[in-house]
Amino acid sequence: MIPAFYIFVAMVVIGVILYVHDRLTNKPDEAAPEEVEGGEHEECSDDCCATNEVCPSEMLLKHMNEPVVYYEDEELDAFKGREADSYSDDELEQWRDVLYTLKHDDLLGWERSIKKRGIAIPDVIKEELMGLYNS
């Protein structure tokens, strides 16, 4: 019982020494990490969040100040202001012609470019885009 008491006292003394050392070595001008208000992480609304490390919507927001980049898809500018569910079959084929010629690394950049240009991606094309991105 006595050795356990000595071990306990030694741990308390070491703890106090480490605490004092930490207080003395931290400079007062060093800011502590700030906590995010709300305390909870917002849920991602993208369907593919469970399978990706970074949420595509977060990536879109991160790059909103960058200039628009065209991916040889200038013809899609004609669809600016259209609703996502208002495209004909021929127009969907125009979207597919662009989508399936993109490199995998360009998929999110292309989606970002389309959204910055004020063009609504058809729902069917969004599904195909997520399928390509997740493959």
Least confident range of 4-8, 25-29, 68-72, 86-90 = 25-29
Q: What's the average model confidence in pLDDT over 34-40?
A: 45
Contact 131, 104 (CB under 8 A): no
Whether the pLDDT of residue 97 is over 70: the answer is yes
Q: What percent of the chain has pLDDT over 90?
A: 37
Q: Which of residues 32 and 111 earns the better pLDDT score? A: 111
Please, which pLDDT band fits residue 57 given cuts at 50, 70 and 90? low
pLDDT of 118 higher than 70: yes
Confidence grade of residue 60 (pLDDT, cut at 50, 70, 90)? low
Contact 122, 84 (CB under 8 A): yes
Amino acid identity at 82: R
- Residue 89 structure tokens: 């079959």
Q: Identify whether the C-beta of residue 110 lies closer than 8 Å to the C-beta of residue 72.
A: no
**Domain coordinates of the chain in residue numbers?**
47-135
| pTM for this model (two decimals) | 0.53
User: Residue 40: pLDDT above 70?
Assistant: no
**Mean pLDDT across 108-118:** 89
Q: In degrees to the nearest 10, what's the CA dihedral of 18, 24, 25, 28?
A: 130
72 or 33: whose pLDDT is higher?
72
Residue 33 has pLDDT above 60, yes or no: no
User: Are residues 44 and 58 in contact, defined by beta-carbon separation less than 8 angstroms?
Assistant: yes
